[in-house]
Amino acid sequence: MAKKEKNTDLLITNIIRGIEEVKGQDIEILDLREIENTVTDYFIICNGTSNTQVNAIVSSVQKTVSKALKEKAWHIEGSDNSEWILMDYVHVVVHVFQKHIREFYDIEGLWGDAKSVKIETSL
């Protein structure tokens, strides 16, 4: 396994762990590697039930990834209203939505050609 792939797998694992720590819901991974002209390799999409939970998910992902891998997001946007926060880890982009905003934008539908994996959580 190439070093980049191993690092990306570890990053994904820790992002998922951070989301699960604060009960993020409907976690889905979209593998974009076989789609031409994409800006990243993976999207991780999840949702929270309120602004507070969306912020808690983002904070938990930041702490988990930083502690385990000593990495920080390259860019974060959307924190002002906490309806949709995007965290860019270069090879992995995390989208944390409030449920109604996720349904409105339907990222999964826009990237329908991507391989998709839903993560089962124990809620």
Residues contacting 81, CB < 8 A, separation 6+: 51
pTM: 0.93
pLDDT tens by residue, 9-54:
999 999 999 999 999 999 999 999 999 999 999 999 999 999 999 9
Three-state DSSP at 55 gives helix
Residue 51: what residue type?
N
Residues contacting 29, CB < 8 A, separation 6+: 12, 16, 42, 43, 44, 45, 116, 117, 119
Domains, the chain, ranges and CATH?
3-117 (3.30.460.10)
pLDDT tens by residue, 55-106:
999 999 999 999 999 999 999 999 999 999 999 999 999 999 999 999 999 9
Helical H segments across 1-119, by residue range:
3-21, 51-69, 99-105, 107-110
